[in-house]
Amino acid sequence: MEWKKEWKILAWIAAVFLAFVFVPINEFRFTNALDQALQLTQWYAQEHVILCLLPAFYIAGAIGVFLNQAAVLKYLGPNSNRLMAYGVASVSGFVLAVCSCTVLPMFAGIYKMGAGLGPATTFLYSGPAINIMAVIMTAKVIGFELGVARGITAIVFSVVIGLIMSWLFIKEAQSRTVQMADTDDDESERPMLQNVIFFVLMIVIILVSNWGNPDSGAGWTSYVYEYKWILTSILSLIYGAILYYWFNVKVLYMAITALVVTIAAFAFPNPSVAFGLGIVGLGVSLYFSGEENRNWFNSSWDFAKQIMPLLFYGVIIAGFLLGMPGGEGIIPSAWINTAVGGDSYMANLIASVLGAFMYFATLTEIPIIQGLMGNGMQKGPALSLLLAGPALSLPSMLVIYSVLGGKKTATYVILVIVMSSLIGYFYSLI
């Protein structure tokens, strides 16, 4: 088989060589697409890595270290009560309100701990797709009818897709159940209530620190946005107290972290700098605070090594092909507007495919679809894009592949695209 390896190397060398020979590097469309790719990657790094992804890695690492495997198998495992497993997984998006990339470390964490393929993929879809803020904003900006349709169909969609995945790969699921049953369960001495408070607090910190401007005047959402960094600081202090009293994290390292974060908060106008330093300080504090906390840090680092490079590769490619939200990549936006301008099934299918490969941060899909509808997109394709877009992206596909493998990833992606297009098509007929 050595010759196959050599031919593969030769093929890659030839492909790179031909690319440099024939790529029109002096044409505006190509240079603009490169610029869009770099801009999207920079925007992703500035807006989502520090505030969303890094905290999510710590949550995923904590799931692997502190969450009792028996509890995961009981509520989300292959042999768990289906009504409870799919019920919990399908409404997780209302609680998490995260984008497709942020949910990936959490998905990898619960799947690694033994969650069944069906409930795990239901969770994977529902996390970003059933974002309560996105559903409300869809109803407000695009239309109440479309907002309600998005919320209801996404919940049903997530359960159906999980059931289909479980049925298609039932033999592998049974084999995995046996493997998990043979795994030693190191049950934590920490009470379940403490773990619940601990995980909920981390999720709330992510939600508050990423709270967007509602652009709607007064209201509780506006107050949360106005005071979100004060609220984040208060929640972080509570989090620090929990780390000290429940997890025995050394107070010296946390005190140094708090001092550095406070100085950074006054020295830099961008609060993300202080938040990022807090994340770094948390890692240092965990690493030097006993074996259990070091295992938490190592588990989080393992997820980061696996997921982070794939996400950036995917963001660069997605930016090159489709551009920034509101921009244009190598594929002309006029082609997209023309392709999704009708109510045919093909228009819905194209909208689903575009949504699946584009990268949407939380809530960014709404102004994009609003602009597309202003250029002729009908409600059916708009719903198809709303169902496929936030839940999938090229970066997330690469990460899902690293967790589930090629066959399951391809099946999941195809199910999302086909079902999104069917739902959009039937919605346009109503």
Residue-wise pLDDT tens for the chain (430 aa)? 566 777 888 888 888 888 777 777 778 888 888 898 888 888 878 777 888 788 888 988 887 788 766 666 666 766 677 777 888 777 765 666 566 666 788 888 888 877 788 888 988 888 777 766 677 667 766 777 888 888 888 888 888 998 999 889 887 766 665 555 555 554 456 777 888 899 889 888 988 888 877 665 556 778 888 889 999 999 999 999 999 999 999 999 999 999 999 999 999 988 999 999 999 999 999 999 999 999 999 988 988 887 788 778 777 887 888 777 667 788 777 777 777 777 788 889 988 998 888 777 666 677 677 667 766 778 889 899 888 887 888 888 888 998 888 899 999 999 999 999 999 999 888 7
Q: Residue 268 falls within a domain, yes or no? A: no
Q: Residue 21 falls within a domain, yes or no? A: no
pLDDT, position 97 = 57
Cβ-based neighbour number of residue 211 at 10 Å = 20
Q: Residue 118 falls within a domain, yes or no? A: yes
**Size (the chain), residues:** 430
The gap from C-alpha 348 to its chain's centroid, in whole angstroms, comes to 23
- Residue 154: both structure tokens together: 């996404």
Q: Residue 424 falls within a domain, yes or no? A: yes
pLDDT, position 1 = 55
Q: Residue 260 falls within a domain, yes or no? A: no
Query: Using CA atoms, how far apart are residues 424 and 118, in angstroms rounded to an integer?
Result: 23
Domain count, the chain: 1
- Rounded to 5 degrees, φ, ψ at 216 are -135, 25
DSSP element (H, E) containing 364: none
Three-state secondary-structure class, residue 287: helix
Q: What sign does the dihedral 197-203-205-208 (CA atoms) show?
A: negative
Q: What is the secondary structure of 154-205 as a DSSP string? A: HHHHHHHHHHHHHHHTHHHHHHHHHHHHTS-----SS-HHHHHHHHHHHHHH
- Asked if 299 and 73 touch (Cβ cutoff 8 Å), the reply is no
- Residue 187: both structure tokens together: 């049950």
pLDDT, position 325 = 67
pLDDT, position 274 = 94
Q: Residue 101 falls within a domain, yes or no? A: yes
Q: What sign does the dihedral 381-383-384-388 (CA atoms) show?
A: positive
pLDDT, position 128 = 77
pLDDT, position 363 = 62
pTM: 0.72
Q: Residue 273 falls within a domain, yes or no? A: no
Q: Residue 164 falls within a domain, yes or no? A: yes
pLDDT, position 238 = 95
Write out the residue range of the structural domain in which residue 232 sits: 27-248+290-429
